[in-house]
Amino acid sequence: MFKFTLLLALTVITVSNALKCYQGMQNASYPLSGVASDCAATAMTCTKLFDVQTNSVYRACGTSNCTSNGVMTSVSQCLNLTSQINCCCYGDGCNTGSSYSYITGILMAVFGTGIAAML
């Protein structure tokens, strides 16, 4: 009975486990605020578009896989176009970072954790 309940609970968690992405538009001069929220069930990826002209970052859920030169890839990546940087990534709340790349976000997260550990 316990096993059955556990199995049921796991099933429910799996079913309701929609991808979460940061969503909305933000001024790139400011750090990311808000939380990642549920995407539609069809979402596969999270996206981030940095518009150089307006200095704005647009974050959303993506319904297709990430692509590189038109070829689907299973890794997260950013495409640097002339007036915008287009990023696509896999995983809950992965579309962080202020504008350019995920590396910056990851480095800052590691760095931030290091600082926090020293305090």
Ligand X SMILES: *[C@@H]1O[C@H](CO)[C@@H](O)[C@H](O)[C@H]1NC(C)=O
Chain residues in the site for ligand X (CB under 6 A): 27, 29, 44, 54-56, 64-65, 72, 80, 100
Nearest-approach distance from CB 110 to ligand X, in angstroms: 19
Whether 85 contacts 50, CB under 8 Å: yes
Helices (H), 1-119: 2-15, 102-118
57, β-bridge pairs: 26, 50
Nearest-approach distance from CB 2 to ligand X, in angstroms: 35
Whether 91 contacts 105, CB under 8 Å: no
Nearest-approach distance from CB 27 to ligand X, in angstroms: 4
Residue closer to ligand X, measured from CB, 11 or 64 = 64
Nearest-approach distance from CB 85 to ligand X, in angstroms: 6
Residue closer to ligand X, measured from CB, 29 or 113 = 29
Residue closer to ligand X, measured from CB, 8 or 107 = 107
72, β-bridge pairs: 67
56, β-bridge pairs: 27, 51
